[in-house]
Amino acid sequence: MKVAMISLHTSPLEQPGVGDAGGMNVYVINTARQLARRGVEVDIYTRATRPSQGQVVEVEENLRVINIVAGPYEGLAKEELPTQLAAFAGGVLEYVRCREPLTYDVIHSHYWLSGQVGWLLRDLWAAPLIHTAHTLAAVKNAHRSDEDTPESEARRICEQQLVDNADLLVVNTEEETRDLVAHYDADADVVEIIPPGADTELFTPGTDRNTELSRRQLGIPLHAKVVAFVGRLQEFKGPQVLLRAAAELFERDPHRNLRILLCGGVSGASSSDTTYRDLAAELGISRRVRFLGPRPPEELVHVYQAADIVAMPSYNESFGLVAVEAQATGTPVVAARAGGLSIAVADGETGLLVDTHDASDWADALAALLDDDARRSAMGEAAVGHAARFSWAGAAERLESVYERALSEELSGCHQRNAGG
């Protein structure tokens, strides 16, 4: 089987936490690696953002990343990428045409921009289109904070077209299926649920010595309590919620020995390089907050191991890969009861779920674990077993079965295009 994966707006080789790179990058590269190891040939098409990388990157046997020039290498925001859909699609077609007889059995697109290209290629190549949205405009708008910029109606229309036209839709959770049905009138019979995974060989529980070494490397006091946030610094991910909750905790007890780590890069139109530093200063907690740049996985594990708690105050998550990675290291998670986080975190067993984004509620939840060492330790131990339920190998095995289902269902030579949206 040969699969063309489309990941237009962000390369799976980019560092998660930088710009628009995040959980989707982790998902794409890890499922592709595992599919390749099962003997499936995978080509990932993405937009070239620097000439030094070359057109084709051989990642490992059966897996390549193909960089397609579409617009300038730098200076093009994600919001401007719809202007490059034709250029990108043309670049993919040119690459394939010049390498006959290169053909694909299946197309798997990730995110709505890629889906629009995948929809065109599906018609041209007569290959089934599997689409994974990762996030949805209607859901993001329903759950966004008051300060966050709403997603455009143009995006929602494009997503509706993909729901109407893709052969199969892959989601992470049952809740995503319900969202597709409720907001996009999807046929539940064409939706396949495949939970993502975590690299449990890399993200492993830390010993006391690991924790001590990690804290020394990060410059964190050994005897402080540490709450870490890992992800893109944007309103939708909720770092402002954590900062305000921390300020509430310090207001309750000015002598509390607590440090906050924010690990990630700024992303989104509503944030700048100083947004969260300025907020920490405004709240009077700058000396208690450390800003860490995005980390590759082999360094990110030390952030998880250094933390007593990982906080995920997102307004919505299709799943929440950070929660699984943190739990795999034995660190309990306090998360918003939003999207897939209610599956990624076992409430009361491996962490706590918070029903609101109110600073007082978050301060209460964090204090409940920070001030109860025995409970927090027990949750950390349970978290390792919970995280072990999610694996990339298992996700890839199920993805391959979805591809086989798509191939087994007869496709007509001409597709009925539902382009209304």
- The residues that bridge with 46 in the sheet, in sequence order, are 67
Q: Which residue has the higher pLDDT, 47 or 271?
A: 47
Per-residue model confidence (pLDDT) at position 302: 93
2 is in an annotated binding site: no
104 is in an annotated binding site: no
Average pLDDT of span 32-49 = 97
Q: Check pLDDT > 90 for residue 90.
A: yes
Edge-to-edge strands, sheet with 2-6: 56-60, 63-68, 41-47, 2-6, 106-110, 129-132, 168-171, 191-193
In terms of CATH architecture, what is 208-387?
Answer: 3-Layer(aba) Sandwich (3.40)
325 is in an annotated binding site: yes
Closest of 396, 370, 39, 345 to residue 196, by C-alpha: 396
3-class DSSP assignment, residue 81: helix
9 is in an annotated binding site: yes
Asked if domains 2-197+392-408 and 208-387 share a fold, the reply is yes
pTM (2 d.p.): 0.82
pLDDT tens-digit map of 193-224 = 999 988 888 999 877 778 888 899 898 999 99
Average pLDDT of span 302-313 = 96
Per-residue model confidence (pLDDT) at position 77: 85
pLDDT tens-digit map of 128-166 = 999 999 999 999 898 887 777 899 999 999 999 999 999
Q: Check pLDDT > 70 for residue 414.
A: no
91 is in an annotated binding site: no
Pick the CATH number of 2-197+392-408 from 3.50.50.60, 3.40.50.620, 3.40.50.2000, 1.10.357.10: 3.40.50.2000
pLDDT bin (cut points 50, 70, 90) of residue 270 is: low
232 is in an annotated binding site: yes
Q: Check pLDDT > 90 for residue 169.
A: yes
Other residues' Cβ atoms within 10 Å of the Cβ of residue 56: 11
316 is in an annotated binding site: no
Q: Check pLDDT > 60 for residue 413.
A: no
349 is in an annotated binding site: no
317 is in an annotated binding site: yes
150 is in an annotated binding site: no
The C-alpha angle with vertex 347 and arms to 341 and 353, in degrees rounded to 5, equals 60
In terms of C-beta density within 10 A (0-12 exposed, 13-18 middle, 19 or more buried), how is residue 219 classed?
exposed
135 is in an annotated binding site: yes
Average pLDDT, the chain: 92
295 is in an annotated binding site: yes
* Domain locations in the chain as residue ranges: 2-197+392-408, 208-387
Q: Check pLDDT > 90 for residue 46.
A: yes
305 is in an annotated binding site: yes
> Which residue bears the tokens 């628009």?
20
268 is in an annotated binding site: no
Polymer length of the chain: 421
23 is in an annotated binding site: yes
